[in-house]
Amino acid sequence: MNFPVNMDAVTIWEKTVVNRAPAYIRHVLGPSYWQETQSQEADGTARNPDDAIFLAVPAASVTYLPKKEDRAVYGLCEDVNPPKTALTVMQVKDFCYLLPQMMHIEVMLK
């Protein structure tokens, strides 16, 4: 099974605290799969408050394991701090224990 990718990179800013103020460390993950998701009601109508981004990163592209409250943007971004358009990491699932060709992480962004 080949892992599908639709982007060359994703930029993630690791949230840390320095002198009681938020600070960020920039990380770049390699080729990944980025998909907009939309929750639906039982009748099929969209629920906008739950819209999110699903990000799947193959194990070979994982140079940093994101954590909750980190920030992320589509593609390569050279900014030292996350831009205002950056999304927040809400959830991370680590699937790097599967068969080698299926190992990946899944990240939900909002």
pLDDT in tens, 35-89: 988 665 556 555 555 579 999 999 999 999 999 999 999 999 999 999 999 999 9
Considering only residues 11 and 52, tell me which one the structure prediction assigns the higher pLDDT: 11
Distance between CA atoms of 57 and 85, rounded to whole angstroms?
Answer: 21
The total of other beta-carbon atoms located within 10 Å of residue 57's CB is: 26
Average pLDDT over the chain reads 88
What are the residue boundaries of the structural domains of the chain, listed by start? 10-109
pLDDT-based confidence at residue 12 (cuts at 50, 70, 90): very high
Model confidence, pTM? 0.83
Query: Can you point out the beta strands (E) in the chain?
Result: 10-18, 21-29, 33-40, 46-58, 71-74, 87-95, 104-109
Split at pLDDT 50, 70, 90, the class of 1 is very low
H/E/C letters for each residue in 65-76? CCCCCCEEEEEC
